[in-house]
Structure 1
Amino acid sequence: MSFRGNRRGKGDSFRINEDIEEGQNGRHVRNGGDSMLRSSSSMKIFEPDHWFSQSWRIIFGVSCVIAIAMDPLFFYVPVIDEDKKCIGLDKKLRTTAIILRSVTDIIGVINIILQFHSGYKDEKSGDEINDPWKIARRYLWPYFLIDILVILPLPQVFILIIFRELRGSKSLNTRKVLNCIVFLQYVPRIFQIYQSWKDPNKRADKLSETPMWVKAAFNFSLYIIASHVLGAFCYFLSIQRETACWHRACVNKECSESSFNCDHSLGNYTFLNDVCIISPPNTTPNTTFFDFGIFLGVLQSGVMQSKSFSDKFFQCFWWGLRNLSSLGQNLQTSNYIWESLFTILISLFGLLLFSYFIGNLQLYMQFETERTEEKRKKAEEEMNEKKKKAEVEREKMNEAKHPIEIWMFKHRFPEQMKEDIRPNVINSLERKQDVNVKNLLHHLPEELRNKAKRFLYLELLKKLPVLENINEQVLLKICDSLKPVYYNEKSYIVREGDPIDETVFITDGVAWSYSTSNNGEAISGSSSLAERLEKGDFFGGELLEFVLKNPSLPQLAISPRTVKTHGPIEGFALMAEDLKNIVCKNWLRLGEGQSEPFAAYVVQAAWRRHHEKKNLEKSSQGGR
């Protein structure tokens, strides 16, 4: 009996009957049910999808397979002594087989205990059952009986009984019954394996996820184990057929009550060599007195007399594999009914395995075909999706290229500079960066960006009266520090009375500059008229004059006018702090009358630094 349970799909923790509420008289009453639990009962119920449930199901299934492979070892325990015509036992192999069987039986006992702690899913309602009484009722019939039958030590006991006393012809009938009992124990064992592997392989999607080599190995292992079991039965039945011949011969020689156990045998049975004749290979079998049928080949091999387990195992394994693969077609049976039943079993079992293999092969091929088709469809969908995305990106890029060309045309860049700008902007588009077509300078490398700034703004700066005497190198540095700006329609750039911290040069668009009275009413005269500012104009020129006269910038000039955009405005801004830093570093290159304030400012700044350094040294010496 496997650790049963169906997958629920959620959670992997084990549940302790949380829906049991305490009732009267110290008992617990389950909500919605009539089953009772004593107050001392606190059983842990494992959910079917708990990791321990799944792991144990696999462990138990593997142990069942190992048990089927280990049980036939008991059949190799008997050994024929042809000189004394008796049967002994391979005690070393017997001990090994008992230990291995005991280990699998212990696992079986643990599995029986765990079954009472294993929740399950009702097949009709789909509800998960965690009531211990319902779990117990479900398990006790028929699964508990099957698990008990499996762990019964039938091979250990019956095989030893069969060969303990081989007295008289009546023992032959006893051995037949015991043989059937030992063989029938394989039926519940196979049922256990089926139950253990049924749930993990029940869903097609799980089976389809299993690697092909695992599926092939599983089917191959079935043939290997079946061949091993049939080979062991053949060895065991071959010994019984030879002892049956001895008993038949003893009927005529008045030794029918003699024992053929090597531990008790005292008689002289050399006459059996003339009666129970095992014909040499490649000769016509002597069936005058006794027909060994399909077991003659195994008896001729001499493995019955060998205590080498490897010799017996491989010879009998080959016998089982060969006849299972050929469905027993080459077996020549005698008129012994149990021998005929054994060969029928070989044919049916071989046919069953072959049908199972073909069925699984078709199932696996179907799964592989479906999975391949799903992968193909998924690949096609992904490819189509990529094509759509590429098409969208291509359209976006084409749409973005048009305003780029308009921007370069509007600013009248030379062709060589256009050729330098295009790949850099397109590269930003390909990297899926947001490209601001109103400020493409941001996407250019520093050297090309400064080059474009100088092309756009240098001539305009030279026209400013306040900068006309400044060295061109200083103007180039001012150009490099300019920052592109953009203002939306109907927005205020600066208001009257606000400090001026930047000078803005217009490269595209129209703005209005106007002044108002202190109370917000328009003043009379020409100053009440709004001045139109367009491409080539600037505002905030007071900043330039103020910085050139006051390099320390203790104060900022106040705007005497309000500047408001008429439509979108593009331009560039010269910030007060940037202008101050540039001029302070290059004051020697300023024009006549402009360098004196900066010279004084530089001397004052140097003196302040020197004075601060001296104070710091004095304070550090005083602290020592």
Structure 2
Amino acid sequence: MIDLPYLIVGITFIILTVVWWKTARDDKEALVVFTILGLFGIIGVVPIPQIAMLVLLPRMKGSNFSEGVKIMNTLIVLQYALRVYPFYRICKIQNKEKLDKSNISKSYWVSGAINFVMYITACHVLGAFWYFFSLQREIDCWIHACKSENGCEISTLDCDDHKTFKNITLLNDLCPINPSNAMIFDFGIYLDALQSGMLGSTNFPQKFLQCFSWGLRNLSSFGSNLKTSTYAWENLFVALISISGLLVFIYLLGHLQTFMQTTSRSVWLHQKTMPQIQLMLSEYKLPYHMGSVIWRTVQDRLEDDKYYMENIYSLLPDKLKSDIKLHLFLPLLKKEPMDEELLKEICEHLEPMNFNGINYIIRQGEPLDMMFFVTQGIVLTYTINNGGSSSTSRLEKGDYYGEMLLSWAVASTSFSNVPISPQTVKSQKKVEVFAITATELQLVVAKFYNKILLGSPDTTQMKITVANS
């Protein structure tokens, strides 16, 4: 019989292994590893021990029957050892995947479902082994009873049409089950299976549920209620149950702890970043739908330790940054008589700059080396005349400075004649601007230079207008 839960997991593991194998064709070492893993998955799915049992056991007679059962049980144990690895790999992959923290409950339900399937499968496997070992222990007792009786041939225990063991009283006396006698033969943990009559029953649902219930109860209690005999393999089986139960408990406890930590971190990130995101939406006047996109992006980036949050904008991907800059600055640049595609390219190259306190951004009489847009704070501009008098103005959110660089970048092919700033520009307290340097602006315009020269008459006239403005 093939376990349906494992069949699903095993096929999934084989498919994943094939995908890994294809992606690692150039890596010979990885190719060998994935090939071996694929073979393990196939061996785990195919019911080799069960087929061998159906073919070989009917041919085994006498004492060889008990030995054959032990060999078959050993093969089944080895196969289930191979079956554990695909479960481990799939759980490891699931835990390593980046989770969408906006839907964290759903993500952990998937992982929890996989762990639950693992637990149910473990209970089923332990119950199945208990059934097989109970049958084997009863056969061992029969063989022991037959050997202790003079004239008893072990071959008479075989179920065939030629020989039938008639001395049922001998088996009842030397293999007492109900009531049991541990002084004669101690069945240990297998006594319940024998007393219930489960081994002789043909009711499969009853057998399955009884074995599953036994595995569930004893795995959950770490096998603490099991009273064993002195039989070595029985004690090893109980030790395996106790260790397995403990490992499952530790694993589930660790998974729960990870879930709690991730949930707490998600709440902390929400409390920390949501006010900043709301402030950003308000300050930049961004569409509301951008808020959810920004929130998911910030969460994913902050989960990665290589990202450090200077501000919300610094964590956004290039595409989202581009959308924000177009939303903020393209309407302002459209006031300039220039090609719209060129204006979009200029927006793409704007980068944020932050000033804390009073700082000189541009000085009067020095080369005008940047054009910038104010997004937060107040910027003062003033001109000092030769007579000592000055005129002052202020730039606030939505204002920009250095537009004369646009006409210079279109008309000039050299950086030597960059315009001189007629004013001094100074930040007040905390200021955020988006700026593009004169050099970068000239390079951007150069990309469109052929389009301007070879464009339509309207575009050529636009160039002349900008150059003379």
Give me the TM-score of the superposition, normalised by structure 2.
0.52
| Distance change (3 Å), C-alpha of 1:153 and 1:318 | closer
What do residues 151-189 of structure 1 show as CA deviations (whole Å, max 9, x unaligned)? 554232333256425533344334323212211111221
Q: How far did residue 320 of structure 1 move?
A: 0.6
**Matched pairs, number:** 281
The aligned runs of 1:556-571 (5 Å cut-off) are none
Q: How far did residue 228 of structure 1 move?
A: 1.1
Distance 2:146 2:155 in 1: 8
**Which of the residues 211, 233, 240 maps onto 1:338?**
233
Distance 2:69 2:255 in 1: 38
What secondary structure sits across from 1:258 in the alignment?
Answer: helix
Partner residue in 2 for 1:289: 184
Distance 1:110 1:204 in 2: 22
Partner residue in 1 for 2:203: 308
Code of the residue aligned with 1:160 in structure 2: it is: L
Q: Are 2:77 and 1:183 equivalent residues in the alignment?
A: yes
Distance 1:345 1:263 in 2: 40
What secondary structure sits across from 1:321 in the alignment?
Answer: helix
Q: How far did residue 138 of structure 1 move?
A: 4.3
What do residues 178-226 of structure 1 show as CA deviations (whole Å, max 9, x unaligned)? 2122111112211122223433431454698453333333333222111
Partner residue in 2 for 1:243: 139
Structure 2: segments with no counterpart, 5+ residues:
286-469
The aligned runs of 1:385-396 (5 Å cut-off) are 385=280
The aligned runs of 1:119-138 (5 Å cut-off) are 119-120=23-24, 130-131=25-26, 136-138=31-33
Code of the residue aligned with 2:207 in structure 1: it is: K
Q: Are 2:151 and 1:257 equivalent residues in the alignment?
A: no
Q: How far did residue 118 of structure 1 move?
A: 1.7
Distance 2:263 2:193 in 1: 43
Partner residue in 1 for 2:312: none
Partner residue in 2 for 1:160: 54
Whether the 8 Å CA contact 1:278–1:296 is kept in 2: the answer is yes
Q: Are 2:168 and 1:270 equivalent residues in the alignment?
A: yes
Partner residue in 1 for 2:220: 325
Whether the 8 Å CA contact 1:67–1:104 is kept in 2: the answer is no
Whether the 8 Å CA contact 1:327–1:346 is kept in 2: the answer is yes
Code of the residue aligned with 1:362 in structure 2: it is: Q
Q: How far did residue 350 of structure 1 move?
A: 0.2
Q: Higher helix share goes to which structure?
A: 2
Code of the residue aligned with 1:252 in structure 2: it is: S
Q: Are 2:118 and 1:222 equivalent residues in the alignment?
A: yes
Code of the residue aligned with 1:156 in structure 2: it is: Q
Distance 1:188 1:339 in 2: 22
| Distance change (3 Å), C-alpha of 1:320 and 1:175 | same
Whether the 8 Å CA contact 1:164–1:261 is kept in 2: the answer is no
| Distance change (3 Å), C-alpha of 1:155 and 1:265 | farther
| Distance change (3 Å), C-alpha of 1:258 and 1:307 | same
Q: How far did residue 366 of structure 1 move?
A: 1.0
What secondary structure sits across from 2:228 in the alignment?
Answer: coil
What do residues 483-518 of structure 1 show as CA deviations (whole Å, max 9, x unaligned)? xxxxxxxxxxxxxxxxxxxxxxxxxxxxxxxxxxxx
Distance 1:219 1:108 in 2: 15
Whether the 8 Å CA contact 2:49–2:72 is kept in 1: the answer is no
| Distance change (3 Å), C-alpha of 1:322 and 1:151 | closer
Q: How far did residue 110 of structure 1 move?
A: 7.2
Q: How far did residue 144 of structure 1 move?
A: 4.6
Distance 2:144 2:196 in 1: 23
| Distance change (3 Å), C-alpha of 1:200 and 1:240 | same
The aligned runs of 1:362-381 (5 Å cut-off) are 362-381=257-276
Q: Are 2:41 and 1:143 equivalent residues in the alignment?
A: no
| Distance change (3 Å), C-alpha of 1:363 and 1:308 | same
Distance 1:150 1:376 in 2: 47
Q: How far did residue 382 of structure 1 move?
A: 3.7
| Distance change (3 Å), C-alpha of 1:219 and 1:158 | same
Q: How far did residue 109 of structure 1 move?
A: 11
Distance 1:185 1:163 in 2: 18
Give me the TM-score of the superposition, normalised by structure 1.
0.40
What do residues 250-281 of structure 1 show as CA deviations (whole Å, max 9, x unaligned)? 1123122234336675331422223221125x
| Distance change (3 Å), C-alpha of 1:221 and 1:109 | closer
Distance 2:187 2:154 in 1: 20
| Distance change (3 Å), C-alpha of 1:288 and 1:264 | farther
What RMSD over aligned residues (CA atoms) do the two structures have, in Å? 3.5
| Distance change (3 Å), C-alpha of 1:114 and 1:264 | farther
What do residues 452-500 of structure 1 show as CA deviations (whole Å, max 9, x unaligned)? xxxxxxxxxxxxxxxxxxxxxxxxxxxxxxxxxxxxxxxxxxxxxxxxx
Distance 1:362 1:312 in 2: 37
What secondary structure sits across from 1:333 in the alignment?
Answer: coil
Whether the 8 Å CA contact 1:278–1:299 is kept in 2: the answer is yes
Q: Highest CA radius of gyration, 1 or 2?
A: 1
Partner residue in 2 for 1:360: 255
Distance 1:161 1:275 in 2: 31
Distance 2:84 2:254 in 1: 19
Q: How far did residue 329 of structure 1 move?
A: 0.4
Q: Are 2:137 and 1:233 equivalent residues in the alignment?
A: no
What secondary structure sits across from 2:153 in the alignment?
Answer: coil
Distance 2:273 2:46 in 1: 53
Distance 1:264 1:119 in 2: 61
Whether the 8 Å CA contact 2:17–2:34 is kept in 1: the answer is no
Code of the residue aligned with 2:115 in structure 1: it is: N
| Distance change (3 Å), C-alpha of 1:338 and 1:206 | farther
| Distance change (3 Å), C-alpha of 1:313 and 1:377 | same
Code of the residue aligned with 1:354 in structure 2: it is: F
Partner residue in 2 for 1:118: 22
Q: How far did residue 332 of structure 1 move?
A: 0.4
Q: Are 2:140 and 1:212 equivalent residues in the alignment?
A: no
| Distance change (3 Å), C-alpha of 1:358 and 1:110 | closer
